[in-house]
Structure 1
Amino acid sequence: MKARIKFLRQHLALNQREFSARINISQPTLALMEKGQRVVRDIHVAQICSEFNINEKWLRTGEGEMFLSVEVFSLDEQAKKSNLTELEIAIMRGYMNLDLDVREKLMNELEAIFKPIHNEDIATFEDNGDSAIEAEMDIANDRKDNEDN
């Protein structure tokens, strides 16, 4: 592991003082680790991996990639995994194109619908006057009532 710590430090173009400061150890401690004269404790491994986004398996054994890959969210990949319909995808894309203030209002309405009140499974709307979603829900309920009659 001593060689990998030194290799990493050099790869990052940091001197011992800079590297050790970033992982909260002294420069002499780092120098001893790189020479194999000081045991690298789990806390040091955790600090190195966290600070520099390093694959712990690589640091400990040399296996795998040195850096952890950064997870990237892909709407298209998530849509495939969730078997979303074209309409669901269009709704999500449309949502992302809304102005921030419109999204905030919409999220408040959705939270009111889906957030259980007093540990019940039924949600209620807050009375805020001219809610478009509330109006749409009323229309949908009226249609259902008419179909049932």
Structure 2
Amino acid sequence: MNINERIRYFRKDVLKMNQRQFAASLGMAQTGVSGTERDGATVTDRFIKSICFAYNLSEVWLRDGIEPMYIQPPTFSLDKFIEERGGTDLEVEIVKTYFELDPEIRKAILSHFKEKFTPSSYGSLYDSVPDTAEELEAQFQLVTDHDKEVG
């Protein structure tokens, strides 16, 4: 399928629109859509960008037919994140269970650990107490490394 055929396919089979409706959705004349759907017709970058923006289409799909058709939003998988870092099934469950806790309980837990890892406990290792779990984890790693060097 070439780009002209993909435009026609998208309009007719996916959107179920006629050329006039499709053109109106893009703010152009029906003749413009008709022209771009003809085999071998030049399709401007502006037209491609208009369709992609209006319908969240992947420009790579429209130009070259490479799936996926739609732009895929970035996703984050906690399971994959932990797995990539060598985490165990138990660690995955611990993290998930932590986030199932009431927000006030999580806040109390973070406060407890913030007190444990205060700058006064480890001298100049830290400039401030962390505000996020990621900062707390990084601080914990510094403390662990420091304890290994001293111990």
**Superposition TM-score, scaled by structure 2 size:** 0.54
> Of 51, 59, 62, which residue of structure 2 is paired with 1:59?
62
Give per-residue Cα distances to partners, 1:113-149, cap 9 Å, x unaligned. 8xxxxxx9834349xxxxxx9xxx9xx9xxx8xxx8x
User: What runs of 5+ residues in structure 2 fail to find an aligned partner?
Assistant: 118-123, 131-135
CA distance in 1, matches of 2:87, 2:69: 36
- What RMSD over aligned residues (CA atoms) do the two structures have, in Å? 4.3
User: What runs of 5+ residues in structure 1 fail to find an aligned partner?
Assistant: 114-119, 127-132
**Superposition TM-score, scaled by structure 1 size:** 0.54
Structure-2 residue corresponding to 1:79:
82
Aligned partners of 2:4 and 2:40 also within 8 Å: no
Between Structure 1 and Structure 2, the one with more helix by share is: 2
CA apart distance, 1:63: 4.1
Q: Is the alpha carbon distance of 1:8 and 1:82 closer, same or farther for their aligned partners in structure 2, counting shifts above 3 Å? A: same
Aligned partners of 2:11 and 2:19 also within 8 Å: yes
> Of 25, 30, 47, which residue of structure 1 is paired with 2:28?
25
Q: Secondary structure at the residue paired with 2:28?
A: coil
Structure-2 residue corresponding to 1:6:
8
Written as runs of structure 1 = structure 2, the 5 A alignment for 1:86-125 is 86=89, 88-100=91-103, 122-125=126-129
How many residues of Structure 1 are paired with residues of Structure 2 in the alignment?
Answer: 125
Q: Which has the higher contact order (CA 8 A, sep 6+)?
A: 2
CA apart distance, 1:9: 0.7
Aligned partners of 1:29 and 1:38 also within 8 Å: no
Give per-residue Cα distances to partners, 1:67-126, cap 9 Å, x unaligned. 445554332222211222455423421232133455577789999x8xxxxxx9834349
